[in-house]
């Protein structure tokens, strides 16, 4: 009995400690983001200079280990980006090592780890030999990682940063981070142009290697209802993802008996006030629902296939990974016709919404000072027209298919009868 009580108390204590650590992480992140950009940046810059020192260029290597470092287990766009990159590279590179730093970057761990799939940062910190390091972290996380590993780890390694960015210029912290890299890879030409004008180092486009899905949408507008979907990570910023515009266009286009909109949120508590604002907005419309629970890959794929249209009235995208995946899965895509997603928005199911470029006006303090930055304000009325047009088209196709199926069924029944039209025995 004593042993059982001890084990039970130990288990309870461990659960409370883990809960306390999680709460402390959230408090730290909130406090960090609440600081003015200048107060956040200068300590990090000083620490990086002390930990990394002046760094000499290291030529690209074809031999030696290749370290792909990212938040593999955190979920979200950057996690998916690292995962796709690793799948592509590790299929051909003989010494490919994936290093997960989700915990070190204070990210919630969402994806389970398959045995041997990832190494921990502590396991590789002492590996000071030659090789290549590909870091799938944007600043400031990129700089935090440099501080944790230090100059000895990077001294003889070619350092490649894989960055995703959504505006026409980059913040000062990104410009500072460029001094440490040997080259940069990005998912789109849009992002390359934003970064390349700030450095003479190579900036190459390496689009996401999105695989062909195992299943593709076959039937649309089932039951006469058009089903629309938006998926976004609250950690990427609600102002940029702009779900309010998607709601406005959808409500303008449809009543409750015509269509449904599902908004799937990843990391809803990343910005609690934005999450609360979105809940209040959606509660006003019975044909819109919010989904916030974590979904594994198979469940997320089913969610996509249950819908007909992917609706993204974002203000800017570095690439637009969920849009690309929606197109590949056979959904119609209605999206703002500006930024990285325009590099694959083509075909009869892609609808680019007109927009007006407007000043950013410091709407998001996390980006620091970007005095000349612009992004797109989508035309909500035009987006609503596009949605209505898609519904009419899909309803007509569904009706035509039903008529064809009915005729085929009748012909089949008739073929079972005798020449006098009597049923066959």
CATH of the domain at 255: 3.40.50.2000
Query: What gap in Å lies between CA 93 and CA 70, rounded to an integer?
Result: 18
Residue 93, pLDDT above cutoff 50:
yes
Query: Are both 78 and 226 inside the same structural domain?
Result: no
Long-range CB contacts (< 8 A, 24+ apart) of 120-126? Answer: 121/69, 121/148, 121/149, 123/99, 124/67, 124/97, 124/99, 124/153, 125/149, 125/150, 125/153, 126/153
Mean pLDDT of all residues in 390-415: 67
Q: Which of 171, 205, 239 is the last residue of a domain?
A: 205
- Name the residue among 78, 38, 71, 27 with its Cα closest to residue 272: 27
Mean pLDDT of the chain: 87
Query: What gap in Å lies between CA 131 and CA 127, rounded to an integer?
Result: 10
State residue 119 phi and psi, 5-degree precision. -105, 155
Cα separations in angstroms, 292 against 79, 229, 248, 422: 18, 13, 20, 58
Q: Are 127 and 29 in contact (CB under 8 A)?
A: no
On whether residue 259 sits in a domain, the answer given is yes
What is the pLDDT, as a whole number, of residue 421?
A: 46
3-state secondary structure of 54: coil
What is the pLDDT, as a whole number, of residue 1?
A: 57
Q: Are 240 and 340 in contact (CB under 8 A)?
A: no
Q: Which of 205, 234, 268 is the last residue of a domain?
A: 205
Residue 161, pLDDT above cutoff 50:
yes
- Name the residue among 319, 374, 420, 358 with its Cα closest to residue 85: 319
Query: Are both 179 and 312 inside the same structural domain?
Result: no
What is the pLDDT, as a whole number, of residue 414?
A: 54
Query: Are both 181 and 238 inside the same structural domain?
Result: no
Element containing residue 272 per DSSP (H, E)? helix 272-282
Q: Are 239 and 365 in contact (CB under 8 A)?
A: no
Mean pLDDT of all residues in 312-332: 97
pTM of the model as a whole: 0.85
Please give the full DSSP string across 171-189, using - where no structure is assigned: -HHHHHHGGG-SEEEESSH
Q: Are 324 and 212 in contact (CB under 8 A)?
A: no
Query: Are both 234 and 375 inside the same structural domain?
Result: yes
- Name the residue among 230, 195, 220, 227 with its Cα closest to residue 378: 230
Residue 252, pLDDT above cutoff 90:
yes
First to last CA, the chain: 76
Mean pLDDT of all residues in 45-71: 92
Total domains present in the chain: 2
Element containing residue 162 per DSSP (H, E)? strand 157-162
What is the pLDDT, as a whole number, of residue 350?
A: 98
Work out the pLDDT band at 75, boundaries 50, 70, 90.
confident
- Name the residue among 161, 165, 172, 97 with its Cα closest to residue 134: 161
Residue 189 belongs to what domain range?
A: 48-53+64-205
Query: What gap in Å lies between CA 13 and CA 67, rounded to an integer?
Result: 36
What is the pLDDT, as a whole number, of residue 13?
A: 52
On whether residue 375 sits in a domain, the answer given is yes
Looking from the CA of 69 toward its CB, the CA atoms found within 13 Å total 30
Find the CATH number of the domain harbouring 122: 3.40.50.11930
Residue 326, pLDDT above cutoff 50:
yes
- The two three-digit tokens of residue 64, written as one number: 């030696």
Query: Are both 345 and 233 inside the same structural domain?
Result: yes
Element containing residue 357 per DSSP (H, E)? strand 355-359
Residue 17, pLDDT above cutoff 50:
no
- The two three-digit tokens of residue 117, written as one number: 């799939």
What is the pLDDT, as a whole number, of residue 369?
A: 74
Work out the pLDDT band at 360, boundaries 50, 70, 90.
confident
183-186 vs 350-353, strand pairing mode: unpaired
Q: Which of 158, 179, 205 is the last residue of a domain?
A: 205
Query: What gap in Å lies between CA 117 and CA 110, rounded to an integer?
Result: 15
Query: What gap in Å lies between CA 205 and CA 127, rounded to an integer?
Result: 29
Query: What gap in Å lies between CA 3 and CA 132, rounded to an integer?
Result: 50
Q: What pLDDT, in 10s, does the model give residues 183-220?
A: 999 999 999 999 999 999 999 999 999 999 999 999 99
- Name the residue among 206, 151, 203, 150 with its Cα closest to residue 174: 203
What is the pLDDT, as a whole number, of residue 419?
A: 47
What is the pLDDT, as a whole number, of residue 4?
A: 59
Mean pLDDT of all residues in 95-117: 86
């Amino acid at each position: 009995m004593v042993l059982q009580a001890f084990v039970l108390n130990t288990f309870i204590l461990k659960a409370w400690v883990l809960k306390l650590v999680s709460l402390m992480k959230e408090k730290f992140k909130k406090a960090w983001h609440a600081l003015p950009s200048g107060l956040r940046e200068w300590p990090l810059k000083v620490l990086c200079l002390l930990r990394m020192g002046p760094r000499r260029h290291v030529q690209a290597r074809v031999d030696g280990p290749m370290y792909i470092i990212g938040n593999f287990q955190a979920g979200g766009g950057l996690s998916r980006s690292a995962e796709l990159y690793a799948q592509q590279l590790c299929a051909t590179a003989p010494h490919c090592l994936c290093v997960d730093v989700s915990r070190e970057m204070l990210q919630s761990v969402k994806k389970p780890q398959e045995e041997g799939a990832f190494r921990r940062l502590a396991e590789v910190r002492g590996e000071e030999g030659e090789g290549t390091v590909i870091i799938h972290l944007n600043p400031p996380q990129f700089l935090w990682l440099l501080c944790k590993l230090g100059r000895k780890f990077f001294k003889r390694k070619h350092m490649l940063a894989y960055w995703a960015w959504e505006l026409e210029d980059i913040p000062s912290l990104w410009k500072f981070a460029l001094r440490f890299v040997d080259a940069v890879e990005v998912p789109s030409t849009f992002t390359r142009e934003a970064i390349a004008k700030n450095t003479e180092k190579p900036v190459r486009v390496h689009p996401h290697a999105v695989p062909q899905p195992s299943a593709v949408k076959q039937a649309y507008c089932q039951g006469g209802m058009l089903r629309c979907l938006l998926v976004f990570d609250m950690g990427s910023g609600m102002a940029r993802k702009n779900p309010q515009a998607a709601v406005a266009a959808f409500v303008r286009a449809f009543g409750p008996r015509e269509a449904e909109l599902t908004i799937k949120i990843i990391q809803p508590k990343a910005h609690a006030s934005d999450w609360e604002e979105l809940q209040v907005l959606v509660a006003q419309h019975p044909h819109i629902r919010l989904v916030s629970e974590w979904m594994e890959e198979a469940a997320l794929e089913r969610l996509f296939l249950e819908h007909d249209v992917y609706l993204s009235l974002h203000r800017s995208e570095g690439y637009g990974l969920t849009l690309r995946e929606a197109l590949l899965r056979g959904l119609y895509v209605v999206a703002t016709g500006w930024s990285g997603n325009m590099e694959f928005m083509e075909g009869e199911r892609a609808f680019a919404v007109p927009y007006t470029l407007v000043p950013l006006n410091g709407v998001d303090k996390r980006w620091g000072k970007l005095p000349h930055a612009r992004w797109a304000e989508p035309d909500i009325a035009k987006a609503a027209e596009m949605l209505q047009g898609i519904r009419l088209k899909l309803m007509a196709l569904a009706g035509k298919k039903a008529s064809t199926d009915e005729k085929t069924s009748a012909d089949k029944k008739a073929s079972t009868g005798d020449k006098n039209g009597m049923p066959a025995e």
